[in-house]
Amino acid sequence: MKKEQIQQLFEQFERACYTVNNIECWSARELQIILGYSQWRNFYKVIEKALVSCEASDINTSDHFADVSKTIGMPKGAQKEIDDIALSRYACYLVAQNGDPAKTEIAFAQTYFAVQTRKQEIIEQRLLDVARVTAREKLTKSEKKLSSIIYERGVDEKGFATIRSKGDQALFGGYNTHDMKKKMKVPENRPLADFLPTLTIKAKDFATELTSHNVSEKDLNGEIPILKEHEDNNVAVRKILIKRGVKPEELPAAEDIKKVQRKLAGEDNKLLKAGKEKKNLKK
C-alpha cells in the first residue's frame, strides 16, 4: 500500500470519528463509503457477521453497536432520516475483520482499528508486519502444496528438502539454505523464511507456485527433473529481481516472524480486552 494512500485513508477515518459518552465511535453509513461499499445492504451483511463475532466473544453487542438515525440531504433542499449504527472502535475492528479482504480499504481498517495509539507511522508499520506475516503463511501453504504434489511423483521428504535447498541456491546466487542461514545468523533449528524480508518471501513463493504448476503441466516425475524445474524457476525469479536492482542474498535479515506474530496478536488481544469493558454507546 502506497504511503499516499495510507495517509488519505488515515485522514478519512480520523475525520469520521466522533465521541459518544467519551467513547470513540464511527457512523456505519460513513464507514460504508470509506470502505468502498456502494450499497448499504451489502455492507449491512458485513455488520451482521461482525455482530455474530462479537457475540461469540461473549461481549454485549449493545455496548458496541448502537442503533441511531442519520439525516441526509435530498433534492430541492428536502431532508430524510435513515437508519444508522454507531460503532465503537472494537465494533469497527470486527466489521473490518469480516469485510472483503480483497479491498485495500479493508486491509487498512483492520490495522487502523486494532491500533490503540492513533499515529500514522504506527499504522504503517503494522501494515508492513501484517503483509510479511501473510506472505510467510502463503509460502508455507505453497510449500505444502508442492510437497504433496511431488510426493505422489516419487520424491520423499529428504528429496523435497534437497529440492528446496537447490532452489534457494538458485535464488540467492549460489548460497544454499544453510549458507543463507549462516549469513543471516538464523538459528539452525528455524526455517530460513522466518527471517527473510517480505520481498524475498514472495519471490520464493512465486518460484514454488511455478514449480507446482509446471510439475503437473509437464507431468514431471522423480527428484532430478523436478529439482531441475525448481532451479530454473528460481533462476527466472532471480533474473527479475536483478533486473530491478535487487540482489536477494544482500537484503538484511528481518525480525523473527514469530516475534512479529506475537506483537500483532498482543495488539488484537488488547483490543479484545478493551471491547469487554463495561462501556455503552447508547445515550
Assign 266 a pLDDT band (cuts: 50, 70, 90).
Answer: confident
State the cell numbers at 127: 501494515
Distance CA 226, CA 224 (A): 6
Which residue matches cell numbers 500483532? Answer: 264
- Best CA proximity match to 59, nearest among 18, 91, 87, 34: 91
Q: Is 84:68 a contact under the CB 8 Å cutoff?
A: yes
Distance CA 50, CA 90 (A): 10
pTM over 0.85: no
Distance CA 180, CA 164 (A): 13
* DSSP category for residue 190: S
* pLDDT tens per residue, range 8-26: 998 999 999 998 877 889 9
* pLDDT tens per residue, range 148-204: 999 999 999 999 999 999 999 999 999 999 999 999 999 999 999 999 999 999 999
- Best CA proximity match to 96, nearest among 85, 116, 112: 112
Which residue matches cell numbers 549460489? Answer: 174
Residue 117 has pLDDT above 70, yes or no: no
Assign 1 a pLDDT band (cuts: 50, 70, 90).
Answer: confident
Residue 63: which H helix or E strand, with range?
none
Quickly count: other Cβ atoms within 10 Å of residue 117's Cβ.
Answer: 8
Rounded to a whole number, what is the largest CA-CA distance in the chain? 76
Q: Is 20:27 a contact under the CB 8 Å cutoff?
A: no
